[in-house]
Structure 1
Amino acid sequence: MLLSVVAGVDGRAESLAAAEWAAREAVRKGRPLLLVHAWSRSPYSLVSVAANTAQRSQAERVLHAAAERLAGACPGLLIQTAQVEGPVVTALSRLADGSELLALGRRTKRGLAGLPGGSVARGVISRVKRPVVLVGADGGQEGTAEVPRSRDVVLGIDLGSPCAEAIDFAFEEARLRRCGLRVVHAWCDLPPSKEEAGASGPVEADCREEERSGLLTAVLQLRRDAYPDVPVIESVRRGKAFSSLLRVADGAELLVVGHRLGKQSHLGLHSSPTTNAVVQHARCPVVVVPYS
């Protein structure tokens, strides 16, 4: 049985853009598309019966309109629809774990760091074991006047804990899209003491950068051998990971990052600061690939 590409839809522009992205992805992968509308049932009362009936009818309208729109854009694509009841994050996470991937709409809130695309997206990313794609209202299909859209897939790698699943996903996406892959690793030096500053300097920093470049090449070698038709550009940059990724991915086809499952704080499960930042600010669709 083929796993479905799943898209959460609620009628807003960003969710429709995510559904369109998911439809194109389903065509590329030869998968069916499942459109889902999740809603929470109100506690039983005479008033809640009417409210739940209204929510169910609204869900049917949203799903029907989205399915019709995508059927016209992607003729021949198998499109299914489903309503799921319960807490939205829980319902979407349960569906995502049995899917090829899950696409969600993303509302960027520039300047509000730590709120990656809304609480639903944040909750889903923290829980699911499958890739989650976050798509803005424009679908990431256009660049800007300063930065035209490219056809590259961009992959961010942490060499301290490289995510094999994210690497595989990025290479496969580049193959399916017949485009290049740009792989970025960024690193920061800790502020040196006065003694260390005098003993080290640009030469030592250049040596560390060269070492990291060699390690990046080694990490990617097996995938490069497996995907000989995918052009790869490797980049090691000094600086914060999220700012380096945002610069390289501005106007790109897709940005892929890994997310370690099980990270926890006093506020509960959460994604990393780098993941939060790129989801929040990237102009292109962002794929968050989980790993243990």
Structure 2
Amino acid sequence: MTRPVAVGVDGSPSGLAAADWGAREAQLRDVPLRLVHAWEWQPYAHAPPGGPEAARRWSEGVPREVTAWLQHRYPDLDITAQRLTGPPPEVLCKAAEEAELLVVGTVGIGRLTGFLLGSVALATVAHTERPVVLVRARTAEENEHQGRASGVVSPPPVVLGLDLARPGDDVIRFAFESAALRAAPLLVVHGWNPPAFYGESGVGTDPNWEADIADAESETMRHALRPWREKYPSVDVTEQAVIGQPAHHLLDAATCAALVVIGRRTRAPKAIAPRIGHIAHAVLHHCPAPVAIVPHD
């Protein structure tokens, strides 16, 4: 069974950006596109103009209008659309279960500054066990910036944030596959900080200690990526093991990226509610590029 690329649409500019990104991704993967619009009537102290019937008609029109817009842009793409009733996070998580990946739009918070991660997107990312890509609408200023950058011949890279303590095969696979589909280079970033005892024990006074640790981290990184390089020989891979907070280095690398890929651990103590982690939070709130969050054990 061929899994589609699923997109949550809500009639907003960010929803349209997500639908367009999802359509291009479906073409790259040669799979259908499934649009999902979640309808949940919310009672208001003061009824909106036109009342609940007007709101319902608007909701019914959203998937039809987005489908027509995409069919004009991608006439050869197999597109289906559904309007489903229920809380949006639940509807989107259900759609993700049946898809290769789920694409959700989010609101930008300024020029090249990233996402305003709303409750729907946050709940969906935290609970689904399928990859979720968050896409935001670009401003006119950002489109102009992107247009100037598009003069570069080589395609923008896919960036993978790699945690060597818990690499996650699903995360690495998704990044390599995304780069291969785009014929794009893959930049793998591993940020790390030396243990506190290095400074306290006086080891930090040795001018070679930092280089030695960096060499060890780089070797561990090469070992983790070796089987994936062999599986995807067409992907040009650059490895970057650097001292410092991982989120900061990922955001630096994401400036001109086609996609940023990060992992989210799904196994947590039962007392802890599902969450996306502090690195993912930092990247999502400040990353200018689309971000794929890939669950892994």
Identify the match of residue 170 of structure 1 among 172, 175, 179.
175
Uncovered stretches (5+) of structure 2, i.e. residues with no partner: none
Structure 2 counterpart of 1:17, which letter? Answer: A
Identify the match of residue 275 of structure 2 among 255, 262, 270.
270
Q: Does 1:211 align with 2:216?
A: yes
Q: How far, CA to CA, are the matches of 2:294 and 2:268 in structure 1?
A: 14
* Residue identity (%): 34
Give 1:289's aligned residue: 294
What's the TM-score once normalised by structure 2's chain length?
A: 0.87
Give 1:102's aligned residue: 102
Q: How far, CA to CA, are the matches of 2:38 and 2:105 in structure 1?
A: 13
TM-fit CA distance, 1:247: 0.2
Q: CA offsets, 1:150-195, max 9 Å, x none?
A: 5111101000000111111111111110110000100012444764
Aligned to 2:63, the other structure's residue is in SS state: helix
Q: How far, CA to CA, are the matches of 1:118 and 1:106 in structure 2?
A: 7
Aligned to 2:134, the other structure's residue is in SS state: strand
What's the TM-score once normalised by structure 1's chain length?
A: 0.88
Aligned to 1:268, the other structure's residue is in SS state: coil
| Contact kept? 1:38, 1:85, Cα under 8 Å | yes
TM-fit CA distance, 1:261: 1.2
Identify the match of residue 185 of structure 1 among 185, 190, 212.
190
Q: How far, CA to CA, are the matches of 1:279 and 1:3 in structure 2?
A: 26
TM-fit CA distance, 1:269: 2.1
Cα separation, partners in 2 of 1:20 and 1:177, compared to 1, 3 Å: same
TM-fit CA distance, 1:98: 1.4
Aligned to 2:262, the other structure's residue is in SS state: strand
Q: CA offsets, 1:85-112, max 9 Å, x none?
A: 11111111111111111000122447xx
Structure 1 counterpart of 2:86, which letter? Answer: G
Give 2:92's aligned residue: 92
Cα separation, partners in 2 of 1:264 and 1:56, compared to 1, 3 Å: farther
Give 1:138's aligned residue: 138
TM-fit CA distance, 1:54: 3.5
Structure 2 counterpart of 1:30, which letter? Answer: D
Aligned pairs (5 A) from 1:1-292: 1-41=1-41, 53-109=53-109, 117-138=117-138, 144=145, 148=149, 151-192=156-197, 195-197=200-202, 200-263=205-268, 268-292=273-297
Uncovered stretches (5+) of structure 1, i.e. residues with no partner: none
Q: How far, CA to CA, are the matches of 2:122 and 2:167 in structure 1?
A: 22
RMSD value over aligned CA atoms?
Answer: 2.7
Q: How many pairs are equivalent?
A: 283
